[in-house]
């Protein structure tokens, strides 16, 4: 059984993240979405909230599970038996960062491969940080995140 890990902070999950998870779920027998617990990063949602938002977003994908983790991503991948890391690429700057991380990860865990999926055109511009800013300024994001995330963002921002 081929298992892959799709790691990220997902603060919050976007339709771009969901697109990558959906497409990866068709490539692998099992996909684990790893929600990274990053205490040093300024996050809007707690790890538990991000896990719950993601679980609801991928509930329709029967071969996808969601787990929080901390520490090195490749160590978590090995712990859960994942043979591949899945990453989404939006633009050339994403490629440069992912390439750098891939080389380091290959040194740390030679048995874990990197699979990069190009973002769909509809989501090339989309980022969680941009969504939070647009929402806080009253912008409409209904086409960019699952409906339950719109509600969670508005509640968190007290809108």
Task: Please give the positions annotated as active site.
Answer: 17, 41, 90, 128
Query: What are the φ and ψ backbone dihedral angles of 67, each rounded to 5 degrees?
Result: -140, 140
Contacts within 8 Å (CB) and 24+ apart, 18-21 = 18/57, 18/58, 18/146, 19/88, 19/119, 19/120, 19/122, 19/123, 20/86, 20/87, 20/88, 20/117, 20/119, 21/57, 21/58, 21/61, 21/64
Closest-CA residue to 50 (of 108, 97, 9, 83): 9
């Amino acid at each position: 059984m081929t298992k892959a890990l799709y790691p990220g902070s997902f603060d919050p999950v976007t339709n771009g993240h969901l697109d990558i998870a959906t497409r990866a779920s068709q490539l692998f027998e099992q996909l684990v979405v790893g929600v990274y617990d990053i205490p040093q990063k300024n996050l809007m949602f707690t790890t538990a909230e991000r896990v719950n938002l993601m679980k609801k977003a991928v509930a329709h994908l029967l071969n996808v599970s969601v787990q929080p983790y901390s520490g090195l991503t490749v160590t978590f991948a090995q712990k859960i038996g994942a043979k591949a890391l899945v990453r989404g690429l939006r633009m050339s700057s994403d490629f440069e960062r992912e390439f750098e991380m891939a080389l380091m990860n290959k040194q740390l865990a030679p048995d874990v491969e990197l699979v990069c999926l190009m973002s769909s055109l509809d989501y090339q511009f989309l980022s969680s940080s941009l969504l939070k800013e647009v929402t806080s300024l009253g912008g409409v994001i209904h086409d960019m995140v699952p409906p339950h995330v719109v509600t969670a963002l508005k509640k968190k921002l007290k809108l």
